[in-house]
Amino acid sequence: MKNIAITINGLQLTGREDMTIFEVAQANGINIPTLCYKSELPPIGACRICVVEVEGSRTLVGSCHTPIAEGMVVHTHSPKVLATRKVIIELLLASHCGTCFMCSKANMCELRSIAADLDMGLPQVPTRRLYYPVEDVSPYVIRDLSKCILCRRCVRACREIAKQNVFAVAYRGFESKIVVDFDQPIDTDVCRDCDVCISFCPTGALSRPSKVTDEKKGRPLIICD
Amino acid sequence: MPEKRIVLRNCNAIKPNRISTYLAGGGFEALSKVRGMSPEQVIEEIKASGLRGRGGAGFPCGLKWELAKNSEGDGKYVICNADEGEVGTFKDRYILERDPFTLIEGMAIAGHAIGAESGYIYLRAEYHYLLDSLMKAIEQVRKRGFLEQFDIDIREGAGAYICGEESALMDSIEGKRGEVRYRPPFPPTKGLWGKPTIINNVETLMNIPQIILNGAAWFDQMGTERSKGTKVFSVSGDVERPGVYELMLGSSLRELVEDLAMAQRVKIVQVGGATGRIIPYSMLDTPLSFETVLGAGAITIFDESRDTIDIVYRTLEFLAEESCGKCAPCREGTEALVGILSKFSRGEGESRDIVVLEQLSQAMMLSSLCGLGQAAPIPVMDSLQHFRDDYENRIAEKMAVQ
């Protein structure tokens, strides 16, 4: 396969012709943030966090799905790109449930992590928040859709890796929601214990039902008597 | 420039349920001529004519066909986009009601040019009442033997604005949820069911038989330098004579709005529907062309009794409702814009809201996945440019009350 020369942030780089901008950047240690892309899953270009500036292009382009082309000049962290990423993260945070302190994903949340990297404060955009009751019918997965950012990793992971097709998107626009069947809580009839979706969820929307950990099951350790 | 009927030449002149009336006026002569030409010659002719897509984006038609023809793979498709979802457009309905045969002929010519054996007409859900007459028209053409090398089927939409966007339209035909795909790959390389596909607006295809019969040079001498031929406009709103008008490209907006549609006390003209440009009365001499403003030819006139912020607010409400929800900037951004505009419409807007409106608009234009999200902020940006006083007066009124 042919090699293609491109410029990213002033660096002369080469990549195979089937590679995307994101892949070339990653291979060369340039970190582009993303919320929907995972190398194990087919790209969908939904979160738009990975947008980059390509010289000559009218808009910014999604780096996770745009193939490289000869002579392409890319800026992954230009002021225009950073300003845009900040607005998108701010929008996601504004409609997000905002209970980080109580969230089990707290410091492992990818949304929070990108927000911290971009030096973001509290969101200023006035917008609605959608609250859904937590779904804990299934013994294998808890779904808290108030924390869902619609990255669709679970939809793709379930289809592509677990080879099931449990999740789908229903409703549209701001009301869009990841649903099971005709918007029913997930239960053991449709989903068995495979955990794949949970491991892909960037926020606390999908989690394992918590159990008492082994540390608390042993004989009580009594220090002095 | 007066009205000029090229696209609409057969409308009201033929009977839409009688193919004999179409044949008597020279119908299917262009298709017969094309059958004697090579695909390259046909594409060359369309390219030389300078015909650009009439659906709003204005992509050169011949170039699109050439890309699809040169794409590897069999089972290519021609799709006619008859979704006509843009707010304030009804020209395609007018055409489909009155002259389905020219459209079928145009599609068959496109099929010959790119090497496709089948095509679809994607009909919007609201035009369901036209399904029967269209199927009968196709059947009549089939019986006359004009569709032996290329057959046409109809697929109906289910009432989503986004399905007029070409990639969502293809998803819808494939039976999926109508959502946009990222590009590249573009449809001429990888479209319907992964096959090379061209998607043309009804009006674009209506031009094809005339270009083939009269030659590229005839078409090329009409219009402006980069906008050739005529355009069909759907005029509605505060006018005395709303309706469908076909004008030479480059005609002024004033001619259409004031002379033909007889509008009075015009305040705003929205050109291109919900995601179209907002033109104030002072700019009414703007020519209508791809270089300036055009869109899909929806012209909505608002007179002095209308409130700018209310117009923009309602427009954004529509776009938020119709966003497919796939990409974050559009899904969340349209909702946020509606939230801020509703504050202004209630008289609760603040000066910092204008800053947020501008920041949001900029980010959405730059990063959204498809044309809906990229163009949704246009009414906001245009109104802030031309009618900033309206926003600032609202803020001042609020301050005065406090």
Task: Write out pLDDT tens, residues B203-212.
Answer: 999 999 999 9
Which residues, including other chains, have CB under 8 Å from residue B205's CB and lie 6 or more apart?
B80, B103, B106, B107, B110
Would an 8 Å CB–CB cutoff place A125 in contact with chain B?
Answer: yes
Q: Are residues A27 and A82 in the same domain?
A: yes
Q: How far is CA B382 from CA A18, B58, B387, in A?
A: 40, 21, 8
Q: Which CATH architecture has domain B230-303?
A: Roll (3.10)
CB contact under 8 A, A125 and B360: yes
A203 chain-B contacts, CB cut-off 8 A: none
Nearest to B325 among A59, A168, A176 (CB): A176
Residue A16 lies in a domain: yes
On the question of a common fold for B19-220 and B230-303, the answer reads no
Nearest to A84 among B326, B339, B367 (CB): B367
> Would you give per-residue pLDDT tens digits along chain B (402 residues)?
578 899 999 999 999 999 999 999 999 999 999 999 999 999 999 999 999 999 988 999 999 999 999 999 889 999 999 999 999 999 999 999 999 999 999 999 999 999 999 999 999 999 999 999 999 999 999 999 999 999 999 999 999 999 999 999 999 999 999 999 999 999 999 999 999 999 999 999 999 999 999 999 999 999 999 999 999 999 999 999 999 999 999 999 999 999 999 999 999 999 999 999 999 999 999 999 999 999 899 999 999 999 999 999 999 999 999 999 999 999 999 999 999 999 999 999 999 999 999 999 999 999 999 999 999 999 999 999 999 999 999 999 888 876
Domain count, chain A: 2
Single residue among A98, A123, A148 that ends a domain in this structure: A123
3-state helix, strand, coil in chain B (%, to 5): 50, 15, 35
Residue A160 lies in a domain: yes
Question: Minimal Cα distance from B349: which residue of A?
Answer: A126
How close A216 comes to chain B (CA, Å)? 42
pLDDT computed for residue A104 by the predictor: 84
Q: Which helix (DSSP H) or strand (DSSP E) does residue B122 occupy?
A: strand B116-123
Task: Write out pLDDT tens, residues B3-16.
Answer: 889 999 999 999 99
Q: Are residues A44 and A106 in the same domain?
A: yes
Q: Are residues A146 and A55 in the same domain?
A: no
Which residues, including other chains, have CB under 8 Å from residue B298's CB and lie 6 or more apart?
B86, B87, B88, B89, B233, B234, B236, B270, B271, B272, B273, B276
> Would you place residue A216 in the very low, low, confident or very high pLDDT band (cuts 50, 70, 90)?
low
Q: Look up the ipTM and state it.
A: 0.92
Q: Are residues A145 and A58 in the same domain?
A: no
pLDDT over 70 at A212, yes or no:
no
Calpha distance B110→B105 (Å, rounded): 9
Token pair of B136 as six digits: 């009968």
Q: Which CATH architecture has domain B19-220?
A: 3-Layer(aba) Sandwich (3.40)
Token pair of B156 as six digits: 């109906």
Residue A70 lies in a domain: yes
B177 chain-A contacts, CB cut-off 8 A: 168-169
CB contact under 8 A, B320 and A95: no
Per-domain boundaries in chain B: 19-220, 230-303, 310-401
Residue type, A107: N
CATH class for domain B310-401? mainly alpha
Residue A221 lies in a domain: no
> Could you tell me which of B327, B338, B319 has the C-alpha nearest to residue A125?
B338
Task: Write out pLDDT tens, residues A104-113.
Answer: 888 889 999 9
Give me the domain span that covers residue A173: 130-209
